[in-house]
């Protein structure tokens, strides 16, 4: 087999390239931006690389940890779970860093009786079999068949919705509970019940190590190359069109994997597979804005490193960048109110100022000099999937079967976590290569 093309250099594309190379298959990885990484990509701030996307690595991220090990990185540091929220005018702290019984009781009080009654069986199913905590799992597909005709806002009640569910969905999916569905919530619950570490040198170190592995020629990474079309080649294989430096070009491959978000893949397939394109557009995406701000003095206490905000605010979360980075704040803006006041045209300084105004009463932000910041707005930043999502995936795959040699993976397949993307990437490679036999 000649080289396989992978479209998209985010975590799903990296996973696909990794598993193809494990099969001794040469890979060309196309990425439209100047650096790989996608939503986990990095930027420099005051001489330091900072990661914008998910940088917390769960203890149960077994596939992803294997990849990190292959990159030669073994230096992890504890990150933990430490956050708070305002309930009835009072700051309530939640953490996993001690007083386990106390925090368990607090979590139960936040869920309420109905919340515990409904969520406990789902949590137990994931703890018994971690593979159930992803999209399109057997357990949650059964739940979807019974309950996905309603949203999470109808499936669960207060106080669980406001105090437990919304902080999770708005942070992980950019969506309100009435925009999410029970059959997909297992991918959220699995993240909530995990514990986390971070790479000491950040995600950029991992991305650099992966990119350096392309030096031997079995992996070629084409950054700044935006794929604009895919179609069957008249003499066999798949032809992709791409643009680089304002110049258009084509390349032909035996096989191609899309690792793009569903909405972007739909654009590529508009002409060749219009029915698949329409199905892919049913997968929901919501915008997110993230600012990382360096202040002159510590903003947080070690005992209180983050806070989530309710549905009346455009700021969904403000937290310390790392367990020792108490002067470095990560502001995340997502949810319905955020969409109404923040857009791609919003000035970063104004967005950050809004975050400072909201978080200021709870942390040492006022009269604390802002030294520098990095900012990103992603119009399709967070995936919220769809109702009866497993059925939609089956329908998409049925339409894609007519495009021989082409396969698709991404955050809409198994979930948005790095582990879910690696699982989906491995499954996609297996499926593609089975079709070659």
Query: Could you read off the pLDDT of 339-390 as tens digits, one per residue?
Result: 999 999 999 999 999 999 999 999 999 999 999 999 999 998 899 999 999 9
Q: Is the pLDDT of residue 90 over 80?
A: no
Q: Convert 160-186 to b/e letters by CB count within 10 Å (16 or more is b).
A: bbebbbbbbbbbbbbbbbebbbbbbbb
**CB–CB of 122/189 below 8 Å?**
yes
Share of the chain above pLDDT 70, in %: 95
Closest listed residue to residue 381, CA positions, set 284, 260, 287:
287
CA 365 vs CA 294, 305, 326, 358: distances in Å: 11, 13, 11, 10
Residues of CATH 3.90.660.10 domain(s) within the chain?
284-384
What's the pLDDT at 92?
A: 77
If one counts every other C-beta atom within 10 angstroms of the C-beta of residue 104, the result is 11
Asked if the model's pLDDT at residue 98 lies above 70, the reply is no
- pLDDT band of 87, cuts 50, 70, 90: confident
Under 8 Å between Cβ of 328 and 322? yes
* pLDDT for 251: 97
Q: Is the pLDDT of residue 1 over 70?
A: no
What local confidence, expressed as pLDDT, does residue 162 receive?
A: 92
Whether pLDDT at 198 is above 80: yes
Is the bond into 159 cis (omega within 30 degrees of 0)?
yes
Question: In the chain, pLDDT over 90 holds for what percent of residues?
Answer: 74
Q: Which residue has the tokens 């690389």?
A: 49
Give the predicted TM-score (pTM) of the model.
0.94
Q: Tens of pLDDT along 129-186?
A: 999 999 999 999 999 999 999 999 999 999 999 999 999 999 999 999 999 999 999 9
Q: Which of 53-57, 322-326, 346-350 has the highest mean pLDDT?
A: 346-350
CA angle 90, 92, 97 (to 5 degrees): 160
Tens digit of each residue's pLDDT (9 = 90 or more) over 345-357: 999 999 999 999 9
Q: Render pLDDT for 208-234 as a digit per residue (tens, 0 to 9).
A: 889 888 767 799 999 999 999 999 999
Q: DSSP letter at 304?
A: B
Supply the DSSP symbol for 342. Answer: -
- Give the model's pLDDT for residue 106: 66
**Residue 334 structure tokens:** 């997502």
Architecture of the domain defined by 4-41+62-69+201-283+387-434: 3-Layer(bba) Sandwich (3.50)
Q: In sequence order, which ranges of 131-217 are alpha helices (DSSP H)?
A: 138-147, 152-155, 160, 166-172, 186-192, 202-212
- Given the candidates 3.90.660.10, 3.40.640.10, 3.40.50.300, 1.10.10.520, the CATH classification of the domain at 284-384 is 3.90.660.10
Q: What is the mean pLDDT of the chain?
A: 91
- Residues recorded for the chain: 437
Distance (Å) of CA 12 to CA 261, 289, 426: 9, 21, 9
| Sheet of strand 226-232: strand arrangement | 226-232, 238-244, 247-253
Supply the DSSP symbol for 223: E
Who contacts 23 (Cβ-Cβ below 8 Å, separation ≥6)? Answer: 429, 433
CATH 3.50.50.60 in the chain: give the residue spans. 4-41+62-69+201-283+387-434
Predicted confidence band of residue 29 (pLDDT cuts 50, 70, 90) = very high
> Which bin fits 26, alpha (ψ -120 to 50), beta or left (φ > 0)?
beta
Which pLDDT band holds residue 262 (cuts at 50, 70, 90)?
very high
Is there a contact between 221 and 214 (Cβ–Cβ < 8 Å)?
A: yes
Q: What is the mean pLDDT of residues 238-258?
A: 97
Q: Alpha-carbon distance 45 to 42, whole Å?
A: 10
pLDDT band at 80 (very low <50, low <70, confident <90, very high): low
């Amino acid at each position: 087999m000649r080289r396989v093309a992978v479209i998209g250099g985010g975590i799903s594309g990296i996973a696909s390239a990794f598993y193809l190379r494990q099969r001794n298959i040469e890979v060309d990885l196309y990425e439209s931006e100047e650096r790989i990484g996608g939503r986990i990509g990095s930027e420099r701030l005051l001489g330091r690389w900072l990661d914008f996307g998910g940088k917390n690595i769960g203890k149960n991220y077994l596939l992803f940890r294997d990849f990190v090990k292959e990159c030669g990185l073994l230096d992890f540091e504890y990150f933990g779970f430490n956050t708070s929220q305002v309930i009835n005018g009072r700051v309530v702290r939640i953490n996993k860093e001690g007083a386990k019984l106390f925090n368990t009781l607090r979590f139960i009080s936040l869920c309420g009786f109905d919340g515990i009654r409904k969520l406990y069986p789902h949590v137990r199913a994931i703890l018994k079999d971690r593979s159930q905590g992803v999209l399109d799992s057997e357990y949650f597909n059964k739940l979807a068949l019974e309950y996905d005709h309603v949203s999470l806002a109808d499936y669960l009640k207060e106080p669980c919705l406001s105090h437990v569910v919304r902080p999770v969905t708005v942070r992980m999916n950019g969506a309100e509970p009435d925009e999410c569905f029970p059959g997909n919530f297992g991918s959220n619950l699995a993240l909530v019940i995990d514990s986390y570490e971070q790479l000491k040198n950040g995600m950029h170190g991992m991305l650099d190590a992966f990119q350096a592995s392309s030096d031997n020629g079995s992996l070629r990474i084409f950054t700044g190359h935006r794929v604009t079309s895919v179609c069957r080649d008249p003499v066999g294989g798949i032809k992709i069109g791409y643009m680089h430096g304002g110049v258009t070009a084509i390349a032909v491959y035996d096989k191609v994997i899309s690792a793009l978000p569903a909405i972007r893949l739909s654009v590529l397939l508009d002409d060749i597979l219009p029915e698949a394109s329409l199905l892919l557009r049913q997968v929901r995406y919501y915008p997110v804005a993230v600012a990382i701000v360096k202040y002159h003095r510590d903003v947080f206490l070690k005992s209180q490193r983050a806070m989530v905000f309710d549905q009346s605010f455009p700021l969904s979360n403000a937290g310390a960048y790392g367990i020792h980075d108490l002067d470095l704040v990560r502001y995340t803006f997502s949810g319905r109110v955020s969409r109404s006041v923040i857009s791609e045209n919003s000035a970063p300084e104004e967005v950050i100022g809004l975050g400072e105004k909201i978080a200021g009463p709870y942390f040492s932000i006022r009269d604390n000099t802002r030294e520098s910041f990095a900012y990103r707005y992603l119009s399709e930043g967070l995936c919220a999937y769809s109702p009866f999502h497993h059925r939609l995936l089956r329908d998409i795959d049925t339409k894609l079967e007519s495009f021989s040699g082409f396969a698709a993976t991404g955050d809409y397949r198994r979930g948005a976590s790095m582990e879910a993307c690696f699982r989906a990437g491995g499954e996609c490679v297996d499926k593609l290569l089975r079709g070659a036999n």
